[in-house]
Structures are given as structure tokens and as C-alpha cells.
Structure 1
Amino acid sequence: MSAMFLGIDGGGTKTAFVLVDAAGRLLARHESTTSYYLEIGFDALRALLHDGVKATLDLAGAQSSDVTHAFAGLPAHGEDSALLADFSSLLEGALPRHTVGNDMVCSWAGSLAGADGISLVAGTGSIAYGEWQGRSARCGGWGEVFGDEGSAYWLAREVLALFSRMADGRTEPGPLLALVREHFQLAHDLDLCAAINGSAARSRFAQAARLATTAAQAGDAQARQLLVRAGDELALLAAGTARSLGLPAGAPLDVSYSGGVFTAGELVLGPLQAALSRRQPGAVLKRPRFGPEMGAALYAARLAGQPLRGAALGLLQG
């Protein structure tokens, strides 16, 4: 039987499971809900992972013993050293050979197919991770209270702040005003306070980020500027990672990306490329080769000492 590699890409909104073999064949794919332990707790996270592993293996007609190695990249891993053992034990009993790390690695391994460079993640939260000449570094990922700049949560917060300024006359109203009213079904503008305070779910709050794109497409200059700022914040993450990696000034550097914020397309990718040119000369923005869920599987293969290359990667890319 060919070697099998299971990748688990966790996130603030969803968790994706992918099973591939050494030849580059996709054997199974499964998706579940958020794996952010601060939102659902460790018991629910463990159950979600075990259920997801079983569902994925069942789809492929495989057993846990068939999996050569698995990698689970989970949000917030490594951000509380007292919990590292708890994270490491999450897949015990589900898979005999596995590694648990941060979901930033999934984005890097997927978007750059394991090559040197930096990956930017801008989903519910934001973080950057890169590898270069055997070194690795991360930047950002400090959480929504005082960090996660450029993320959907950050962008949602800025959208609502702009709405409040439009609503009470501190700035000129634009299309965003009506979009927020409609999204939250507000009878009165101040009802937004109750709508937000009554919903503690981080992933649900972050969904308001999409209103920035819709408003910008409708001609809202102030909403568009929020996306420009997001691009600049993400470029700062790339530059900080490059500095930690010790890249020489102006050295060629591939930068790729993943996460829901990038569904805004050129509204955020354009400002990101422009900001990279200013902040990290030599950086080139590259379209992701694979998604983070496939990146998790590729990283599992690398951890097993059997990295997928050439024809196998070509088959996966399809």
C-alpha cells in the first residue's frame, strides 16, 4: 500500500481534512467547523478532530494505521506555553503517527509548496510564517484584542468603526452605511451595539469584514481605504518575518497568501503588492500553488521524510 499523509488545516471559521498518497492522489476530503479552542474549548476541539479524522478515513476506506503521518495545524498553537502538551495530545487515540503545530505552517507549505519564502494568512486572524535557507520565523498572530492587523476580525472592527462615524456625522456617509444597516437588520443605528455585544463568537463577528469589499465595489472610497490599510498591515508582517529570517536587503523573496480577506481580490492584493515594494524590496507576490488544507498534507509528508515532488505535486495541482 502506498504511503498516506493526512493534513488538517484548522481555522477560526472552518477545519479542513485532506488525505493524499505518495503518488499525489487525493484520496479524501472532509470539512468541519471552527477549531479555535478559545471559542469552543479543548474537549470540543478534541472531539471535532477525532470525528473529522474518522470521517476522512471512512471516505477513503482507510484505517488510522494506514496513515504514514498526519499534521494538524491549529489556530493559537504555541501562544500559551502551558498548553503545548494539551495540543500535542489532541490526536492521541485517533492516529498513531502525528504532529500538531500552528496553522500558519499549512498556509506556507501549501501556497509555496514547501519552497523558501513567506506566507501571509489573513483569515479570521492574521499571521505570517516563512522559511529561508533552513531558518524559520513567524510574525503577528497576537490575537484580536491588540493584534491580528489585516485580518477579517480587524477589518470587521474597522468597518463598524467607520459605520459609527458615518452614522453620527463624523464623516461623510457612503454605501457602507446602508450595507451595515441591512447586514445587521438595524431598526436604529445604535442597535448595532446590542447586535455586537450579544454575539461573542469571533468567527461570526469577522464576517462583517466582507462589507468592506462590497462597499468598495459600490464606490465607497473610505471603505476602499480600509482594504488599502489591510494590505499595508499584511506587508508589515512579511517585512517583519523577513527581518527575523535574516534576509539581506533587497534579496529576492517569494510571498504568497491564504485566507478569506484575499477574496477581495485586487482591492487588497494591489495595495499589498505596492506596500511590499516599499517595505520589502525584492519581494514578489505569488498566487498560492495549493490551499492550506493541501499544505497540511504536504507538510505531513515532509515530516515523514517523504516530501512530495515533481509529478506528485503536478497530479495534486490537477
Structure 2
Amino acid sequence: MIYLGVDGGGTKTAFVLINDTGEVLARHESATCYYLSVGIEAARNVVLNGISETCHRAGITPDDISFTFLGLPAYGEVSADIPRLDALPQPLLSAEHYRCHNDMICGWAASLGCRDGINVVSGTGSIAYGEHHGRSARCGGWGELFSDEGSAYWIGCQALNLFSRMSDGRLQKDLFYDLIHEKYPCSSDLDICDLVFNQWKGDRGKIASLAPIACEAAVAGDRQTRAIFFQAAKELALMVDTLRGLLEYGADESVRVSYTGGVFKCGDVILEAFAYELSRFNGNYHISLPEYHPSLGAAIYAAKLNGHPLSEQALAKLSFGGCNEQ
């Protein structure tokens, strides 16, 4: 059997084909399918072209795919749009051979191997999702305008605020201020407004790209940017602890927790803070490294939806083959 996983994100969409023995048959990566940003037709083109290209690389046709799971950004957040999102893979895939849902499931399935527990995502946006004894729940992920706390976009916005305060004297200038000038040379600090509002037009992906610069400053000892990551960790830990209650974990029951998304590539500056914030709650949390890349999670979930979950041997092979992709 052959399974296709599609992991849609705020800045890119990843496609991966696997078989039931744990072999990766083909991969493809393209632009975002975040339809609230690019529009439904652009999202459809990304999905259809991506399926076609991935199948071409594997030397198969879409009809050869046993089941597909498509994790789509913002799926389910506008009820009226669900039928249109569900139709995105047509006519390449027949309705009985695929399912669409929110991309948060890709991160959960990947990080925990479709086992009970909670996964928190901090990429361009942020969200947490978990499953426990047949129950499922999500927390966060209400969008960048008033939510997505702890995400790269949120960190980027906080970093821009920090730069403005450093510039006009409300805060002391530190390494982050210098790094922004190195990355975006300008004759006046106010030109940052032109960059963000006119050149970037407030694009969430471009604002999120400031998070690695903030991370660089934080790792190097800039205490004010470190404070941003500490607050991000606090927000992400709160999502996890809230889900613990929603999923009805017992008071003494251990909860497996994992994570996905580019913000966690900042390493200890976010991970140690995240672990510390979780420890402040009363829950018994066990944090583990993500087991698979999110796109593999989508394919693993496709096998589960098809009624033929991958064997431990197949999962082990996927883990070995995908270990360099985290």
C-alpha cells in the first residue's frame, strides 16, 4: 500500500509518499497552501500540482495511492469554507481515498507517532493538539492578528516592538538592534516601517523570519530578546497544560509532550524555558524529541485512517530514514 502525506504550513507545503514497509518513495516541497493568505484557487493549485509532482517523482499515478491525509492551515476555522477545502484534491483523488483536516494533526502524528499525548507547534503560527483515550482537543491557533502566541510571527512582532523601543530610547540598545541593522541596512531606523508595511505589506512569513535573528541575539546574551523567548515558552506551556484538562488526564497520569516548528530550532533558549514553565504546573509531563518530520506524520496518519496502521518495523525504518529532517 502507498500513502501520501501533505503537511501544509504558513510558508510552505511538504508532500511525501511512503509505502507500508516504511520506505519513502518521493518528496516534494512547494509554496504555502494557507488559503486565508493566498486564496482558495492558489491553495488548490499548490495541492494539485504538488500531488502530481510527487507522484511523478515516484513513478506512479494518483490512482496508485491507497490513502492520503492533507493537513491544511486554518482548516475548520471557517465553517463555511470546509466543503471547499475538502474538495481541494479533486479531481486527482477520489473522495473515499483521502481526508483533509487541520495541519496541527501532522505535527501530533509526527512527534508522537500517532500515540496518545500532546504536541505543541511553534512555526509561523502556533497551536497545540492532543489525543487521549479516543478524545481529541486543540488549544490556541486563533490566527496571527490576536493569537498565535509563542509563534515565530508572534516573536517577530515582539522583536519589532523591541527594536522600536531600543531605537527611540525607551530601552537600552543591545545586540538585537545591531543585528537588525546588519540584516537590513538603512539610513534611518524609521525605515523599518517602510520595510514592514510597504515592502513586506505585513506578510506574516516575512515577519516570522525575524524570529531567527531574535534567537541569535538571545543565544548571544541579549537579555531583552531572551525575555521574548521566555514569554513564548510560557504561552506554549499554558496551551499544553490547558489541553491536559480538556483531554481529561488523571491527576497522577503521565502526559507525553512533544513539539514541532521552526521556533524550537532555537534550541535551549526556548526548550529549557518550555520545560521549566511546564514544570511549574502540577501535571506530570514527559517531554520527548519529535519522532518524525511533520510530513511523515501526515503519511503515518493516512495509514491509520485507512485502517492499516504502520507496523513497528515500518515506523522504525521511517524514523531512521527521516532522522536528519527535524
TM superposition score category, shorter chain reference: over 0.9
Q: Is the 8 A contact 2:33 2:44 kept in 1?
A: no
Aligned to 2:253: 251
Structure 2 residue identity aligned to 1:207? S
1:285: Cα distance to partner? Answer: 1.2
> Any idea what the Cα deviations from partners look like across 1:261-302, whole Å, max 9, x if unmatched?
011011100000011111252011110000110000001000
RMSD over aligned Cα, in angstroms? 0.9
What is the one-letter code of the residue matched to 2:195?
A: A
List aligned pairs for 1:31-180, cutoff 5 A.
31-96=29-94, 97-180=97-180
TM-score, scaled relative to structure 1: 0.97
Q: What percentage of aligned pairs have identical amino acids?
A: 45
Residue 182 (structure 1) shift: 2.2
Instruction: Give the aligned partner of residue 185 of structure 2.
Output: 185
Hey, what's the Cα distance between the residues in 2 that align with 1:7 and 1:160? 35
1:187-217 per-residue CA deviation (whole Å, 9 max, x = no partner) reads: 2111111111111321111101111111112
**Farther off after superposition, 191-200 or 294-303:** 191-200
Question: 1 CA distance for matches of 2:80 and 2:32?
Answer: 22
Q: Corresponding residue for 1:275?
A: 277
**Matches of 1:283 and 1:186, distance apart in 2:** 46
2:40 maps to a residue whose letter is F
Q: Using the alignment, how far apart are the partners of 1:203 and 1:34 within structure 2? A: 10
Shift of 1:33: 1.2
Contact in 2 for aligned 1:108/1:114 (Cα 8 Å): yes
Aligned ranges 1:202-213 → 2 under 5 Å: 202-213=204-215
- Residues 241 and 283 of structure 2 are in contact (CA less than 8 Å); yes or no, is this contact kept in structure 1? no
**1:74 and 1:100 in contact (8 A); partners too:** yes
Q: Describe the superposition over 1:27-69 as per-residue Cα deviations: whole angstroms up to 9, x where unpaired.
A: 1111011111121111011011100001100111111111110
- 1:240 to partner: Cα distance: 1.4
Cα drift, residue 227 of structure 1: 0.9
Contact conserved, 2:260 with 2:294, CA < 8 A, in 1?
A: yes
The aligned counterpart of 2:319 is 317
Q: Is the 8 A contact 1:249 1:281 kept in 2?
A: yes
Query: Does the aligned pair in 2 maintain the 1:39–1:202 contact within 8 Å?
Result: no
Query: Which contiguous aligned blocks of 4+ residues in structure 1 show a shift greater than 3 angstroms?
Result: none
TM-score when normalising by structure 2: 0.95
CA-to-partner distance for each residue in 1:202-237, whole Å, 9 max, x for gaps? 111110111111111222011111111111110011
Matches of 1:261 and 1:218, distance apart in 2: 16
2: CA distance, partners of 1:32 / 1:290: 20
Q: Contact 2:16/2:54 (CA < 8 Å) preserved in 1?
A: yes
Residue 248 of structure 1: how far off its partner (Å): 2.2
20, 27, 40: which one aligns with 2:25: 27
Structure 2 residue matching 1:279: 3-state secondary structure:
coil
Deviation of 1:166 after TM superposition, in Å, equals 0.8
Whichever residue aligns with residue 127 of structure 1, its letter is I
Residue-by-residue CA offset, 1:121-159 (whole Å, 9 max, x unaligned): 100000000000110000000111110000000000001
Q: Equivalent of 1:227, from 212, 226, 229?
A: 229
Match of 1:241 in 2: 243
1:16 counterpart SS class: strand
Preserved CA contact (<8 Å) 1:250 1:280: no
Q: 1:250 to 1:156 in 2, by over 3 A?
A: farther
